């Protein structure tokens, strides 16, 4: 006859010390993750969209009027980037190129203000060009077309420059 052994597992009682370790560990993980996310957030984008909300709100109606004038022009635009050259193409409502305008832009990273820089486009046979080698990643180009010192057209483009593109 085989020996009968008691194979019931021996369990240790769950004590207050175990509960304390469990609670402290849980909150240590939560606080650690929150602190890490806060540090990452403060070292990247500030969240600042406008420097002064009150001043920006005062020009809201003027911005709406500019947008209505721009829509009435019926212009269409496109921005291309290839081999260190930005090409801005602007056509009127009859799909003819709009020429003889001053085109300026602000080049920026959506999450880093320290890389903001102005661009000036020059006219060529197909539109307007600006030479600028861009690092890989997401870029925002705020293009402004002026005529006689007045804003005629504004368009914000987002482009992604792939890594290894030989910018």
- Which helix (H) or strand (E) segment holds residue 138: the answer is strand 137-147
pLDDT in tens, 131-164: 999 989 899 999 999 887 677 899 999 999 988 7
Q: Is residue 67 helix, strand or coil?
A: helix
CA nearest to 87, candidates 96, 97, 95 = 97
Q: Is residue 20 helix, strand or coil?
A: helix
pLDDT in tens, 52-102: 888 888 888 888 888 898 899 899 999 999 988 999 999 999 999 988 889
End-to-end alpha carbon distance in the chain: 84
User: Is residue 144 within 8 Å of 153, Cβ to Cβ?
Assistant: yes
pLDDT in the model for residue 1 = 52
CA nearest to 103, candidates 87, 83, 82 = 87
In sequence order, what are the beta bridge partners of 156?
A: 142
From CA 137, how far away is CA 158, in angstroms rounded? 10
pLDDT in tens, 16-57: 999 999 999 999 999 999 999 998 887 776 666 677 888 888
pLDDT in the model for residue 3 = 58
For the chain, the 3-state helix, strand and coil shares in percent, each to the nearest 5, are 30, 35, 35
């Amino acid at each position: 006859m085989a020996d009968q052994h008691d194979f019931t597992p021996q369990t240790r009682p769950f004590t207050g010390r175990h509960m304390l370790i469990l609670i402290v560990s849980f909150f240590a993980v939560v606080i650690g993750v929150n602190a890490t996310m806060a540090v990452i957030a403060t070292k990247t984008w500030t969240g600042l969209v406008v420097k002064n909300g009150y001043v920006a709100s005062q020009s809201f109606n003027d911005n709406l009027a500019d947008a209505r004038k721009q829509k009435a022009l019926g212009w269409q635009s496109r921005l291309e980037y290839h081999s260190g050259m930005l090409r801005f193409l602007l056509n009127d409502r009859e799909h003819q190129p709009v020429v003889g305008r001053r085109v300026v832009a602000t080049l920026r990273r959506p999450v880093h203000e320290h890389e903001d820089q102005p661009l000036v486009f020059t006219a060529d046979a197909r539109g307007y060009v600006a030479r600028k080698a861009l690092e890989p990643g997401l870029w925002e180009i705020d293009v402004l077309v002026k005529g006689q010192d007045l804003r005629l057209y504004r368009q914000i483009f987002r482009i992604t420059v792939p890594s290894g593109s030989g910018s």
